[in-house]
């Protein structure tokens, strides 16, 4: 099975260690349909008809890794896990379950770019 990750699970980010035994298939850009919010320590993606792109990575994972990701994402309470189509085939994505009202939007859909811009200012 595969998973699309867009935040702290991406390579070089705080929780990437959970994917150390996964196979990184490559970068992925979901062309539209999402809004990425900055919750401070981590991002929250929500599906939206008026949404924009969402950048991330796709990994091949096993059941043990999926269980670890479910634990991290507090599935199904904090995040829901849904299937999406990527250029690598069907993959899971974690979408935020709670209100994002008042949280900043990351307009370019790239959590890692948001962090680089913050460091530069």
Q: What is the residue whose two structure tokens read 């924009």? A: 52
Domains of the chain, by residue range, sit at 2-120
CA distances in angstroms from 62 to 19, 40, 59, 71, 78, listed in the order given: 10, 29, 10, 14, 22
Residue 29 has pLDDT above 80, yes or no: yes
- Cβ of 56: how many Cβ atoms within 10 Å? 27
Q: Which CATH class is domain 2-120?
A: alpha beta
For 90, the 3-state DSSP assignment is strand
Rounded to two decimals, the pTM is 0.94
Out of 13, 28, 64, 73, the active site residue is 73
Say whether 73 is catalytic: yes
Distance CA 109, CA 106 (A): 6
Share of the chain above pLDDT 90, in %: 92
- Say which residue the tokens 């949280």 belong to: 103
């Amino acid at each position: 099975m595969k998973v699309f990750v867009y935040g702290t699970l991406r390579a070089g980010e705080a929780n990437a260690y959970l994917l150390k035994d996964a196979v990184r298939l490559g970068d992925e850009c979901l062309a539209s349909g999402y809004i990425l919010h900055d919750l401070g320590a981590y991002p929250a993606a929500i599906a939206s008809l008026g949404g924009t792109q969402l950048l991330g990575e796709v990994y091949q994972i096993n059941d043990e890794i999926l269980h670890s990701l479910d634990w991290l994402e507090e599935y199904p309470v904090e995040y829901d896990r849904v299937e999406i189509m990527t250029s690598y085939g069907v993959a899971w994505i974690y979408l935020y379950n709670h209100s994002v009202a008042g949280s900043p939007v990351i307009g370019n859909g790239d959590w890692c770019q948001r962090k680089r811009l913050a460091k530069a200012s």
